[in-house]
Structure 1
Amino acid sequence: MLTNRQLSVTIFITILGLAAAYVLQIALAIGFAFGLMTLVLFVRRGGTAFRDILRSMGEGVKHTKEVIWILALVGVVIPTWTASGTIPYMIDLGLRIVDPSYFLTFSFVLSACISMLLGTSTGTLSSVGIPLIGLALLLQIPLPMVAGALVSGAFVGDRTSPFSSANRLVASSTGVSVKELFKALLPTTIGAGCITFGLFLFLDVKGEWHQGEKALLHEQFGTGFTYSIWLLLPVLLLLLSILLRFKTRNGFLLSIASAIGIGLFLQGVTLYEWLHAMWFGYHSRLFDSLQTKGLSNMVELIVLIGLAGAFNGILEENRVLQSYMQKLLGGSSASLFSATVRTSLFGLGLGLVSCTQTLPIMMSGRSLLPFWEERFPRTQLARVVADSSLILAAMIPWNMLAIVCGTIVGVPVEHYMAYASFLWALPLCTLIWSYGWRGRKNAVG
């Protein structure tokens, strides 16, 4: 168990290291390593054997395997989709059917609908986000706005869909059913959704998305690729695999394999060109807008995620934060609004330090539940966790969730965060709802 001072020093050094690395534009893993070493030092001083520390770090790294797989496969799927002709074909197809006048609103609504169906932000951004970003680039629509619309829509389902693993984690961590959770989330979902829809509709109305140039952009890439309806197969396979609840990484692998097969047959891509594109990214002398990154660009991020897993493993194994839970909610007379503020800040702090989405959800839910339900219904805790710990992680530049989202859409989180209105509208809506709930403490939900 760490003392208050040791915990404060660990948190300070971790956040300072990450922030410094981010500002200096060096590897985030370097900055995070200082916090990890500080935590290891304090836990070792507390009497924990070094062998046990290594074991807990190993267990923590194991829990990040799926995220590491996804990040690595995203680095491969984008260049393979591009080299096979799938992305160029979808962009040219989109130029014919999408009205640029309401591109942001369309992107948000489409992303939200797909994410509710799939229950995953990663699958949503990969299947619809990648081609829409390419389309926006050609239409000269500001990419941070488009990324904000796509990420906002993706987290409608990532948070709310009953198929979402994050949604089910909130339910299990707070001891409520998925149905009860959906009912508890409905008011803030509607509020944040209306704010987000209104913002993008306003931006579309006020923006000038070069409608006059639309006709000139048809068949932008047709001269460089052989087009066929089969080019949609990699995307459809990814969507279908997620709908059938296959492991996300298996869906990506299936999509990549189909893209390679189609590319070999239609585009004549050689084995060397495939390997080069998958590792270094796709590069074209004809089309500058199709340049992508490859697996080599993901190595630094994968190291960071592995270190974050080790950090979380030590926190969980040694129960570092449990003794501070009761103090967090304040006295027995604290209002729901006060408890909401404290819980949200706790989730934000965990997101800043742990670099994950899972740990803040689990710690905020499981650890606070015994103290929370002494005063308020557990459905209210579930709402607060879903509207803070689950969402806020996507707004932290060095959090692995934000890293994956930014990597897929090709826009760093700090560039699109101001436009990802669903992410920051939800915490505001949940604070307002908690404040208005003060007079209904004896209510059921």
Structure 2
Amino acid sequence: MGSKMKKETTLMYALIPLLFLMGSLFYAIQIAQIDVHIPILASAFFAAGVAIFGLNYTWAEIEEGMIDTIKVSLQAIIILMIIGMVVGTWIQSGIVPTMIFYGLKILSPGIFLPATLIICAIVAVATGSSWTTAATVGIALIGVGEGLGIPRNIVAGAIISGAYMGDKLSPLSDTTNLAPAMAGTDLFTHIRHMLYTTVPSFIITLIMFAFLGRKYTGVALNTELIDKILGTLSGNFNLNPILLLVPVIVIGAVMMKVPAIPGLFGGAILGGIASIVFQGASVGSALTALHYGYSGETGLAMVDDLLNRGGLDSMMWTISLILCAMILGGIMEKTQMLATLALKILSVAHTTGDLILVSIITPIFVNTVAGDQYLSIVITGRMFKETYAERGLHPKNLSRSLEDSGTLTSPLIPWNTCGAYMIATLGLAPWTYVPYCFLNLINPVIAVIYGYTGFSIEKLDKNGDKAKENEKVEIEA
């Protein structure tokens, strides 16, 4: 088979595995009500069969594509493992209980959702990481919200909206650096151009959460329940404000450009040390929390449900889901199925508005099929870069679209690396939080509206030379 000439990957060959995937996911989610791991993995091997028997690819080539794509996700997988450890020791040490305790004392239901959005946006801009934001202030805000009687899914929507807004605009963010690199523009030109779509989206989101928060302002606060939670936390943990130095140190380390993996691992170790010093835990108990998470009985079921989690083992379900998605994505990219589907989408883009529309749709498609935001940015950027240049459009229009769509829609898809991470870290059920991720839903729509109206869509000069403009931007910066 290795000597056979490969056939062209036509639209039919590309659609067959996609239709199989859609059918498998529908059956798993709607009928069997099972996890999506096996349907995604089955779709991957179905796609491999199509490639081998229909397109004359060898298994060695397909395996190479799978492994190359898995390599792309390895950093995310390592971070996931470490985040599980962070959650385990930060709960056992009393860091998370202390954050929840003081949050319940300071925040009121009426301002909680807008405050959550703003807090997460600030932390994400400072750290450049939506993941770090969710794993630090995010898990504490979930507890505060539940104590105030606000459903977890709504709180998660505010956390994710704020975290991804900040991540998207931070010069420290990996995706914020990747998008302009793929499109062919510079970092600060890219960030400034994103303000046109991101700021209005954030203002609308802030208004929506403020309006939603009013619903809880008028509800009589269950002070008896809050007192029970406060009493339970103070009765089971040594709540000391000094413990808050640990998340401050971790966030500060990330701001100082300490790489995420050692920075977060240091946070997990600091949490273990704090559990020994402040809670009287043994070394063995701290190691157990790193591996299996925190487990305890506080006497209040609500608090137990909130705190009994974390640990390296808690992330294995999520990691296996990511690996299944990466196997499928790798096969479809290696065999040109994703490229064929993307080119077909591009063929219907006759106007500038159409081009922006497909630049928004394609990353969503790749996020869904390939399961990784980096692939959605790389594949779309690589494929559309020349088309933007041919049509005389500045590459910052493409880089903005890559983030407006690829970055922001990634946490909405449960089997995407970002979606799986948010579900595992914040303790969510798939899909239930999506309607409340207002910024992630609004921003792509605003980007499409701009494309058809022409607002903020900038063109290259007549010679197609953007060098002078970039030079000017760098001088101004």
User: What TM-score comes out, normalization by structure 2 length?
Assistant: 0.86
Structure 2 residue 47 is the aligned partner of structure 1 residue 35: no
- CA 1:83–1:326 in 2, change beyond 3 Å: closer, same or farther? closer
Residue 369 of structure 2 corresponds to: 353
Residue 62 of structure 2 corresponds to: 53
Contact preservation (8 Å) 1:234, 1:258: yes
Residues 30-429 of structure 1: matches in 2 within 5 Å? 30-45=38-53, 46-208=55-217, 210-211=220-221, 213=223, 216=227, 218=230, 220-286=232-298, 287-288=300-301, 289=303, 290-323=307-340, 325-330=342-347, 334-375=350-391, 376-429=393-446
- CA 1:10–1:323 in 2, change beyond 3 Å: closer, same or farther? closer
1:2-61 CA distances to partner (integer Å, 9 max, x unpaired)? Answer: 332121011122233334333434332211111110222122232333223222322222
- CA 1:19–1:396 in 2, change beyond 3 Å: closer, same or farther? farther
Contact preservation (8 Å) 2:322, 2:415: no
Contact preservation (8 Å) 1:352, 1:396: yes
Question: What's the secondary structure of 1:221's corresponding residue?
Answer: helix
Residue 6 of structure 1 corresponds to: 13
Moved more, 363-372 or 334-343: 334-343
CA distance in 1, matches of 2:145, 2:343: 49
CA distance in 2, matches of 1:59, 1:432: 36
CA distance in 1, matches of 2:262, 2:111: 34
CA distance in 2, matches of 1:210, 1:246: 45
Residue 26 of structure 1 corresponds to: 34
CA distance in 2, matches of 1:210, 1:118: 37
Contact preservation (8 Å) 1:140, 1:210: no
**Which amino acid in the other structure matches residue 362 of structure 1?**
V
CA distance in 2, matches of 1:15, 1:239: 40
- CA 1:270–1:437 in 2, change beyond 3 Å: closer, same or farther? same
1:206-230 CA distances to partner (integer Å, 9 max, x unpaired)? Answer: 3236546287365541111123333
CA distance in 2, matches of 1:172, 1:441: 18
1:307-358 CA distances to partner (integer Å, 9 max, x unpaired)? Answer: 32233333444444435555433368x2222112222222222111111111
Contact preservation (8 Å) 2:333, 2:339: no
**Aligned-residue offset at 1:264:** 1.4
**Which amino acid in the other structure matches residue 223 of structure 2?**
E
**Aligned-residue offset at 1:427:** 1.0
Unaligned ranges ≥5, structure 1 = none
Contact preservation (8 Å) 1:237, 1:254: no
Question: What's the secondary structure of 1:157's corresponding residue?
Answer: helix
Question: What's the secondary structure of 2:372's corresponding residue?
Answer: coil
Moved more, 289-298 or 350-359: 289-298
- CA 1:275–1:251 in 2, change beyond 3 Å: closer, same or farther? same
Contact preservation (8 Å) 1:15, 1:353: no
CA distance in 2, matches of 1:152, 1:203: 14
- State the superposition RMSD in angstroms: 2.4
**Aligned-residue offset at 1:443:** 7.0
CA distance in 1, matches of 2:434, 2:153: 8
CA distance in 1, matches of 2:439, 2:193: 17
**Which amino acid in the other structure matches residue 357 of structure 1?**
Q
**Which amino acid in the other structure matches residue 32 of structure 1?**
I
Question: What's the secondary structure of 1:223's corresponding residue?
Answer: helix
**Which amino acid in the other structure matches residue 3 of structure 1?**
T
CA distance in 1, matches of 2:195, 2:396: 12
Residue 5 of structure 2 corresponds to: none
CA distance in 2, matches of 1:395, 1:365: 21
Unaligned ranges ≥5, structure 2 = 1-7, 462-468, 470-477
- CA 1:17–1:323 in 2, change beyond 3 Å: closer, same or farther? closer
CA distance in 2, matches of 1:367, 1:439: 22
Contact preservation (8 Å) 2:410, 2:419: yes
CA distance in 2, matches of 1:438, 1:70: 39
Q: Percent identity?
A: 25
- CA 1:8–1:326 in 2, change beyond 3 Å: closer, same or farther? closer
- CA 1:441–1:227 in 2, change beyond 3 Å: closer, same or farther? closer
Question: What's the secondary structure of 1:415's corresponding residue?
Answer: coil
Residue 434 of structure 1 corresponds to: 451
1:166-188 CA distances to partner (integer Å, 9 max, x unpaired)? Answer: 11111111111111112221111
User: What TM-score comes out, normalization by structure 1 length?
Assistant: 0.92
1:50-98 CA distances to partner (integer Å, 9 max, x unpaired)? Answer: 2232223222222211111122222222121111111111111222322
**Aligned-residue offset at 1:272:** 4.6
CA distance in 2, matches of 1:380, 1:68: 31
